[in-house]
């Protein structure tokens, strides 16, 4: 897609701080982090929103979701189940969809947001 910033990042036409890449996905640090850890998991294929996905994207979406905790661990915000209480650490996973969902970049991406609080706008 011409003029899509995440297509350009995936194609290395503009730089990013990448933390992961394979044939289907790239993950990179958000340029305007909302928390100590904030990265995006992005399919290389241009898909505008989560609402544009169907069964053809089932495996891709599963891959994105399963990559989130692996990369969160590498980035230092793993959720640790201590076996008692709530455990420790952890992160948010977020797809913004459409204007009312707060989406700004219309190329599908999964936010992974974590690290010690406070976060921007949150305790």
As annotated, the active-site residues are: 109
Query: Whose Cβ is closer to ligand 5GP: residue 85's or residue 102's?
Result: 102
DSSP class of residue 65 equals H
Asked if 4 interacts with ligand 5GP (CB under 6 A), we say no
Inter-residue contact 71 to 41 (CB < 8 Å): yes
Instruction: Please identify, using beta-carbon distances, which residue of 26 and 78 lies nearer to Zn ion.
Output: 26
Tokens matching residue 121: 């706008």
11 binds, among ligand 5GP, Zn ion, none (CB under 5 to 8 A by kind): none
| Helices H / strands E in the chain, number of each | 2, 7
Q: Give whichever of 27 and 78 is closer to ligand 5GP, judged by the CB atom.
A: 27
Within 19-58, the residues that bind ligand 5GP by CB under 6 A are 28-32
Q: Which helix (H) or strand (E) holds 59?
A: helix 58-74
In this structure, are strands 25-29 and 18-21 parallel, antiparallel, or unpaired? Answer: antiparallel
Residues that bind ligand 5GP (CB under 6 A): 5, 16, 28-32, 96, 102-105
């Amino acid at each position: 897609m011409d003029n899509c910033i995440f297509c350009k990042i995936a194609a290395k036409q503009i730089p990013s701080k990448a933390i992961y890449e394979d044939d289907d996905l790239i993950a990179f640090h958000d340029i305007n982090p909302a928390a100590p850890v904030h990265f995006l998991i992005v399919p290389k294929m241009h898909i505008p929103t989560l609402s544009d996905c169907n069964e053809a994207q089932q495996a891709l979406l599963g891959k994105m979701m399963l990559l989130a905790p692996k990369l969160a661990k590498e980035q230092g915000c793993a959720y640790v189940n201590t076996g008692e209480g709530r455990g420790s650490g952890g992160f948010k996973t977020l797809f913004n969809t459409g204007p009312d969902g707060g989406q700004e970049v219309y190329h599908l991406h999964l936010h992974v947001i974590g690290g010690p609080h406070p976060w921007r706008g949150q305790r």
